[in-house]
Amino acid sequence: MSVKSVIVIGAGAAGLAAAERLTGAGCAVTVLEASDRAGGRIRHLEGFADFPIELGAEEVHGLENCLVPLVESAGVELIRHETLHDYIRYDGKLISLESARAGEDLREAFEFVDTVSRFEGPAWTVEQCIVARHLPGHAWHYLDSRLGVEHGTTLDRLGMRGFAGYERNWQLREENYTVREPYVRLLDPLLDKVRDRIRYGATVARIEWGGPLAVVRLAGGEDLRADAVIFTGSVAVLRDAPPEFSPALPAEKREAITSIGMDGGMKIILKFDRRFWPEDMYFLHSDTFWPQFWTPGKGRKGKAHILTAFVSGTRADFLRQLEVDLVEFALGELDRIFGGRVASEHFEEAYVADWTTEPFVRGLYSFPLAHTEPRHREALAAALGGKLFFAGEATDLDGHSGTVHGAIESGRRAAGEVLAPS
């Protein structure tokens, strides 16, 4: 077999996994990455606290996926937070998730989560289902954090059918682990094999996929030719700022791009001079406008008092439109939760990581809208003309979209398609 030349667009988890597999199979691989670093939506902040703080992916979901062999070869350590507890704040009370489970107030919310995988109703949003079941306001708030934020959106956007399918597929969801070292170290075993193939600051502006060779044009005007191209940019990039495709993408692909959700959102990292939250607190689901906070330093060596505040979907859009000072707003919410002006008074500094404004990501991660069907992800993943292939978390077909392991699997799948005899 003659050596196949392949251009991989994007050096995130999917792109690195594709490039590593293709390089191992003897292909001549070039990875084009628009930003100045590898990792994509895996990125951390150094120097802000006495431990690294994740700005993108933070958890490893379960021990039955493709990340586990990488954990071993990267020599990093996974931590399971068995001694930490999640808290819920509603009606002015702050109680542990365990106590809430034992009580009556949130019973309907827990029943909703436990039975969601059996849903077979109409193409509704999760919010429509909650309203139809007359769930009380505090149940809505808990579910918006527990389900809406977890899927990178809000309940008015998250599709019930797709979400139910996701729950059915995903056996691993309760077992979450964090990494003692920076999360990006998990990608080292892939990166080490392709480091010298990556061109940074290489923004792809146009992809011609109709001829005998694919032609990829960089923003500076340089043309590169290859037997095949794998595009791994997010579905929001394809929706809002795609490279020019020639020929244009077919109708099915365009429909898929607009039928899969990917919303904006941000993490605000807040540093305080002392802890004012319970020592065993991990996540805090709150009925304030800002739905979710957590303690990112657990298991990492360091003593700084840090909270991450996370908001996504319609709520994140709303805050952006209001043009409020996001840090002050988040501190105000914490004051309301913990009383007095405790957060504002003990605040030291903040860092805002707004993924919506990242030009080559444009949001958090993909999720099902009310009308999203499995065929949309299949169409998004489908190769075109034996030349143009698609990978990235949103193209995962096994219910693991929106994750790092889903992205890696998608990159390996696309590489397999390139290598398959035509």
- Residues that bind ligand FAD in the complex, under the rule CB under 6 A: 9-15, 32-35, 40-42, 56-59, 61, 203-204, 232-234, 237, 243, 267, 355, 360-361, 364-365, 392-393, 402-404, 407
CB of 128 to ligand FAD, least distance (A): 26
Q: How many CA atoms lie within 13 A of 335 on its CB side?
A: 13
Q: Which is nearer to ligand FAD, 10 or 52 (CB)?
A: 10
Neighbours of 63 (CB within 10 A): 13
Q: Which is nearer to ligand FAD, 40 or 368 (CB)?
A: 40
CB of 175 to ligand FAD, least distance (A): 12
Q: Which is nearer to ligand FAD, 130 or 202 (CB)?
A: 202
Q: Which is nearer to ligand FAD, 142 or 183 (CB)?
A: 183
CB of 399 to ligand FAD, least distance (A): 13
Can you tell me the distance from the alpha carbon of 354 to that of 316, in angstroms, rounded to the nearest whole number? 9
* 152, 119 Cβ separation under 8 angstroms: no
CB of 408 to ligand FAD, least distance (A): 8
Can you tell me the distance from the alpha carbon of 156 to that of 281, in angstroms, rounded to the nearest whole number? 28
CB of 224 to ligand FAD, least distance (A): 12
Q: Which is nearer to ligand FAD, 53 or 364 (CB)?
A: 364
CB of 326 to ligand FAD, least distance (A): 15
Specify the DSSP class assigned to residue 208: E
Four-residue CA torsion sign, 113, 354, 156, 400: negative
CB of 238 to ligand FAD, least distance (A): 9
Q: Which is nearer to ligand FAD, 129 or 361 (CB)?
A: 361
Neighbours of 349 (CB within 10 A): 11
Q: Which is nearer to ligand FAD, 139 or 411 (CB)?
A: 411
375: nearest Cα among 161, 210, 173, 207: 161
DSSP string, 89-123: EETTEEEEHHHHHHSSTTHHHHHHHHHGGG----S
Phi and psi torsions of 300, nearest 5°: -100, 145
CA 324 and chain centroid, separation? 25
